[in-house]
Amino acid sequence: MANHSEQKTYQHTSVLFHESVDILSPMLGSTLIDCTLGGGGHTSLMLEKVGPTGRVVAFDRDLKAIDNAKAKLSSSLASGTLEIVHATFGDILKHAEKLNLVGAVSGVLADIGVSSHHLDEDSRGFSFMHDGPLDMRMDQTSGITAAEFLRHADEKDIADVIWKYGEEPKSRFIARLICEIRTKSPLTTTKQLADLISSKVIWKEASRKHPATRTFQALRIHVNDELGQLKQLLKDAPKILAPGGILAIITFHSLEDRLVKESMLEMSGKTKRQSIPRDLPLTDAQVSQMSASQGTILKPFPVAPNEQEIRDNPRARSAKLRAIRFQ
């Protein structure tokens, strides 16, 4: 019988493998940043593209991913072409300054969200399909777990999180259920939470989605401050890139994609002018400066996986890749 405390080996299949590295137009000898090392797939392709005279710096907030990648990419670490940093990409500017990378990077890639390891490993507590501790932290060395959040937060805050990050229409009802049950005993496992929701919320046969899907997504986004991290990256990546440098981001749900799309449109000067109120007392020069373009969007529509990739790796189905080249 399978031992539930036994940890699975680290597994992750890179999404849009060639597309997301090629869009950075990597050159031999150049410097690239991979914000999300994960299983090291994109990082290893970057290393191949920049060659022995190039440099790749890869971030991850998850020590399990880092340990796995350190073993897999040991020769690049030994030769100095690869550096791995245990940090969030929200702190990219601070680390780029420390590593003397500001203005020297020709491409930044972020393949955001969780890895297959997170979803498949019971002990990480991300999935309602497996029973495990209700943790959900990508970095298990800091922050509060989903169980701690559900134990101490106000009912209204829980409802707001489930609504804002899960777009769950039953957010208030689910928050009430959670607060009622915790007066008897705290929710500590994924199964307790999934069973609580599925026992009281009607399954929608048409969508075939487990009724806890949106709540799990919301808690994960909240616990890891995923949208805050993404906003900070969008703000700081342009400061690190060299002229002509490219920022590419793969997202997996509409909340993230909306942020990336709007921010890239704004940086390309496409939305600012319309959003400046007409009656403001501004000169033409001031308006032009406010709507100035910092870069060019590389594809008019996001790049998505083709049918073959989705067949081979169904988790890739909602991926969207967007990229912008800075001046």
Which residue ranges make up the site for ligand SAM (CB under 6 A)? 12, 14, 36, 38-42, 59-62, 65, 88-90, 111-113, 115, 138, 229
Closer to ligand SAM by Cβ: residue 92 or 159 = 92
Minimum Å distance from CB 61 to ligand SAM? 4
Q: State both tokens at 77.
A: 């670490």
3-state helix, strand, coil in the chain (%, to 5): 45, 15, 40
Closer to ligand SAM by Cβ: residue 124 or 170 = 124
Minimum Å distance from CB 78 to ligand SAM? 20
User: For strand 320-326 and strand 31-34, is the pairing parallel, antiparallel, or unpaired?
Assistant: unpaired
Minimum Å distance from CB 287 to ligand SAM? 35
Closer to ligand SAM by Cβ: residue 122 or 175 = 122
Q: Give the strand order in the sheet containing 82-86.
A: 82-86, 55-60, 31-34, 105-111, 241-251, 320-326, 295-297
Closer to ligand SAM by Cβ: residue 171 or 263 = 263
State which H helix or E strand residue 306 sits in: none
Contact 139, 88 (CB under 8 A): yes
Q: State both tokens at 43.
A: 């990082």
Closer to ligand SAM by Cβ: residue 66 or 241 = 66
Closer to ligand SAM by Cβ: residue 201 or 240 = 240
Q: Which of 156, 157, 155, 137 shows the shortest CA–CA distance to 146?
A: 137
Q: Which residues contact 77 (CB under 8 A, 6 or more apart)?
A: 70, 83, 84
Closer to ligand SAM by Cβ: residue 178 or 249 = 249
The CA distance from 64 to 208, in Å, is 32
Minimum Å distance from CB 196 to ligand SAM? 27
The CA distance from 81 to 247, in Å, is 20
* Distances from the Cα of 250 to the Cα of 4, 25, 28, 65, 318, angstroms: 32, 16, 23, 18, 10
Q: State both tokens at 228.
A: 């805050």
